[in-house]
Chain A
Amino acid sequence: MKRTVKTLNLLAGVSLLLGVLGAPATAQDKPKELKIGITTFLSGPAAVFGEPGKAAAEMIAADINKKGGIGGVPVALSFVDEGAGGEALVSNYRRLVQDEKVDATFASISSGSCNQLVPLAEDLKMLNFMWDCGAASILEAKKYRYSFRSQANATPEMLAVLIYLLKTKPNFKTIAVVNQDYAWGRESWEIFSTALKQMKPDVQVVAELFPKFGAPDYSTEVSRLMALRPDVVFTTSWGGDLDTLVRQAGQRGLLQQSTFVLGIGESSIQRLGKDLPEGLIVGARGDHWFMHPEKKNDAAFKAFNEAFKAKTGSMPIYPVYHMAQAFAALQGAYDKAIKANGGKWPTREQVVDAAPNLEFVGFGRPVTLRAEDNQGLEAQLVGVTKRADGFNHMVLDNMMIFDAAKITAPAGQKSVEWLKTLKPDFAKMDVPVFQHGK
């Protein structure tokens, strides 16, 4: 009897031990939380995008968790300041992956940061969504397995703005550019001017001005443009730089003299208030506008916008919607991978396998992650500023929403080479037009 009891005790102990050992195996299958590392600007001038992006991430994560998480697993966020830049950013990214053991990353806003972190994510085999950086070259130069861009690149963004200009002001003869003197300012102008040369070769570029990034004064540029009197002034400046340029130009009558095209001006509309006149062409880096004509009656869209305003004091701008797209892509990839895995929690490799060809919806039209190069196909909204009752800032009117597939360089082709093949007829594509409030 004694022996039997001993044997039973031993068996019970072994069972208990096996049970204990078995528990972590189950936990590994479905972790306690899904950790997401996010790089965003929390300091420096680009914090005008980074801080709203962070606020959006916190809101969206809270909402996902309220609904039970992704595949039943709550998400937890860690943020890294892109403003630190260079080596500090790389070290922090490594820390996120290797020490904090994040399951996915959203990196980054700056194309410079993406250039640094995308190859690193590849080395570390880390699922990464490039949530806001726009340089087309990153995904055109090399095929990556682990990084996906959950939004468009600069090519469709600039092409949409140019086609809008050609459709609405077809008779302009001269143009000048005032862009910030860094990669984005130069690259966006290269895309725009290359396409312009193809689609309207008779246009003269009368000045190419690249003031220093963060320049506090554009007086001389404004004087020069007033003397040159170009029909169109194009700029892809953003943040405080764009605000200063527009205000200094407005104070001296340049905004009335030339048609201004603000390539990514959507993010400044609320801040510029009544300093922004009517008639400026504004791009939105995607189909992003808090009064999106196809979404403005959507309950989730409206609720998100109002919640964001309650949290931050302003309506969302495009980086907020880009952040929402990154979350939608991550959730979509996990849902697809879980389904493909028979309902079980997937490995990272299975999630990565699920991402190509994934279609997801943030707060705009659906976005597709193109399988060939992991590039997101995102629609583009462009409009013109207009005064409207009930707003202390301009609204967008005569909005056109461009189909992503029509204005994105085909997979395998470099953007600039593709732009050189365009013909004037390209601008004649059919694009739906939406009026403000209708």
Chain B
Amino acid sequence: MCGDRHGSPVPDLTSKLRVLMNSTLFVLASLDGLSYAALVFLVSVGLSLIFGVLRIVNVAHGSLYAFGAYLAATLSLLVTPISPWLTYPALLVASLVIGIVAGGLIERLLLSRVYGREEVLQLLITFAVFMIMDNLQRMIWGVQPIYAAEPLKLLPNVSIFGVSYTSYQVIVLPVVAVLALFGLRYFLRRTLMGSVILAVTEDREAATAIGINAQRVYLITFIIGATLAALGGALASPTTSLVPGMGTEMIVLSFAVAATAGLGQIEGTAITALAIGMARAFVIYLQPEFEVLVPYLIMVAVLLVRPEGLFGATKLRKI
């Protein structure tokens, strides 16, 4: 049972590629890849931003994603009886609450004490936070899957080549991802706060010497990163069942995307998320057995050739 059709020979790769060239399937796979990439980008870019500025690999990022999703679903279910359209602000509110409260607490209470310490210590602390949040999530929301699809149901479906897609999937998610990308670019390159963050990233000591409060910069950056993770979760909540362990799933994929792009690379993360999303979609059409492997195969291939990632810059030794 390894062929696509019972009793018929397994189509070879050439014929499969020919199928791929079929414009209908190409468009369908691209749309699927696009919506998947949008969610992956939102989470990965937060992880990448935190690493770029704080130099901390935040394992608890997946928990922030899960908490964002669970809180968004909870708020959506609460406001739906009042007006289903309130579910959209609910998604945003949930992301901000998790980003500011949970992100702020993690940074202030824990991470601020280990800046500049051994990487393994930082990693262990964020891992501990991840475990704690995972248990906390089970205590608050239980183990039964939760689903709150109201935001998705409010919008009509669109038919493309006879295949129905939800507008939420092919319009809302990619638009939010693009807005996040350009918003982040604008914030970092065109605002004073963004310049301050870049200054601290470039040289913390020099930035501190000219009066920049680096601790505050770290806090704000971590909150932005955490909010992006929570936003990814909140936007995913109308499309998927919220279950224990969902954060683990996302953190692994986000690491793959961020590492492939090069940690700290915002545009690179967007391009990599898109590439991985597209590759996954095309593989499901062509050779579905490799679906799970694709992101990691791409990561391994890239890191073997460019250990600093696709868009990462090679660092010069200072001494």
| A residues whose Cβ falls under 8 Å from a Cβ of B | 43-45, 47-48, 50-51, 181, 189-190, 193, 197, 201, 203-212, 214-217, 219-221, 223-224, 226-227, 239-241, 243-244, 247-248, 251-253, 271, 275, 314
Residues of B within 8 A of A224 (CB): 28, 284-285
Chain B nearest CB: distance from A117 CB in Å?
22
CB–CB B1/A252 < 8 A: no
A227 proximity list for chain B (CB < 8 A): 24-25, 28, 161-163
Stretch at the interface among B112-120, B142-150, B260-268: B142-150
Chain B interface, >50% SS class:
mixed
CB <8 Å contact, B163 and A205: no
B19-33 vs A, CB cutoff 8 Å, 1 = contact: the mask equals 000001100110111
Q: Is the CB of A216 within 8 A of B249?
A: yes
Of B77-85, B209-217, B240-248, the stretch lying at the interface with chain A is B240-248
Q: Which residue of A lies closest to B138 (CB)?
A: A43
B132 CB, min distance to chain A CBs, angstroms:
14
Query: What are 30 pairs between A and B in contact, CB < 8 Å?
Result: A45-B244, A51-B142, A181-B292, A193-B1, A204-B6, A204-B8, A205-B6, A206-B5, A210-B291, A214-B249, A216-B241, A216-B246, A216-B249, A216-B250, A219-B36, A219-B169, A221-B284, A223-B31, A224-B28, A226-B162, A226-B163, A226-B164, A239-B145, A244-B240, A244-B241, A251-B153, A251-B166, A252-B157, A252-B165, A253-B157
Contact, CB under 8 Å: A212 / B292 = yes
Q: Assess whether B241 is in contact with A251, with CB atoms less than 8 Å apart.
A: no
User: Residues of B contacting A248 with CB < 8 Å?
Assistant: 239-240
A211 contacts B291, CB within 8 Å?
yes
Residue of B5, B142, B163 near A204 (CB, 8 A) is: B5
3 cross-chain pairs, A with B, having the tightest CB-CB distances, nearest first: A240-B243, A47-B143, A240-B241
Known: A44-B245, A220-B29. A251 touches B240 (CB 8 A): no
Known pairs A45-B244, A204-B5, A227-B24 / 7 extra A-B pairs, C-beta < 8 Å: A189-B1, A205-B3, A210-B291, A216-B236, A223-B163, A275-B149, A314-B144
Which residues of B approach A to under 8 Å, CB–CB? 1-8, 24-25, 28-29, 31-33, 35-36, 39, 138, 142-145, 147, 149, 152-153, 157, 161-166, 169, 236, 239-246, 249-250, 280-281, 284-285, 288-289, 291-292
Whether B166 lies near A47 (C-beta < 8 A) is no
Cβ A209 vs Cβ B284 within 8 A: yes
Best-surrounded residue of B149, B165, B241, B292 (most CB of chain A within 10 A): B241
- In the assembled complex, which residues on chain A have CB atoms less than 8 Å from the CB atom of B31? 223
Report whether A45 and B164 are in contact in the complex, using a CB–CB cutoff of 8 Å: no
> Are B284 and A220 in contact (CB-based, < 8 A)?
yes
Most chain B CB neighbours (cut-off 10 Å) among A189, A214, A275: A214
Contacting residue for B288 out of A45, A209, A241, CB 8 A: A209
Closest to B170 in A: A219
Residues of A within 8 A of B29 (CB): 220, 223
Whether the Cβ atoms of B152 and A223 lie closer than 8 Å is: no
Asked whether B157 lies within 8 Å of A251 as measured between CB atoms, the reply is yes
Interface centre among B3, B242, B291 (most CB of A within 10 A): B291
User: Which residue of A has the minimal Cβ distance to B160?
Assistant: A223
Shortest Cβ gap from A299 to chain B (Å): 28
> Which residue of B25, B162, B246 is within 8 Å of A214 (Cβ)?
B246
A223, B244: Cβ atoms closer than 8 Å: no
Q: How far is the CA of A347 from the CA of B151 in the complex (A)?
A: 61
Q: B130 to nearest A CB, angstroms?
A: 14
**Assembled-state Cα–Cα distance A189/B289 (Å):** 14
Residues of chain B contacted by A216 (CB below 8 angstroms): 236, 239-241, 246, 249-250
How many Å from the CB of B253 to the closest CB on chain A?
10
Check A48–B289 contact: CB distance below 8 A: no
Distance of A336 Cα from B24 Cα, bound (Å):
66
Shortest CB-to-CB span from B156 to chain A, Å, is 11
Of the candidates B1, B149, B162, B289, the one having the most CB atoms from chain A within 10 angstroms of its own CB is: B1
Residues of chain A contacted by B4 (CB below 8 angstroms) = 205-208
Query: What is the CA–CA distance of A207 and B285 in the complex, to the nearest angstrom?
Result: 9
The reply to whether A212 and B241 form a contact with Cβ atoms under 8 Å apart is no
Chain A residues whose C-beta falls within 8 Å of the C-beta of B163 in the assembled complex: 223, 226-227, 252
Complex Cα spacing A243 to B237, Å: 13
Closest to B29 in A: A220
A209 and B287 CA atoms in complex are apart in Å by 9
Across the interface, name the chain B residue whose C-beta is closest to A181.
B292
CA distance A209 to B283 in the complex (A): 11
In the bound assembly, the distance between CA atoms of A314 and B145 in angstroms comes to 13
Given known A-B contacts A212-B291, A227-B24, A248-B239, A45 and B153 have beta carbons under 8 A apart: no
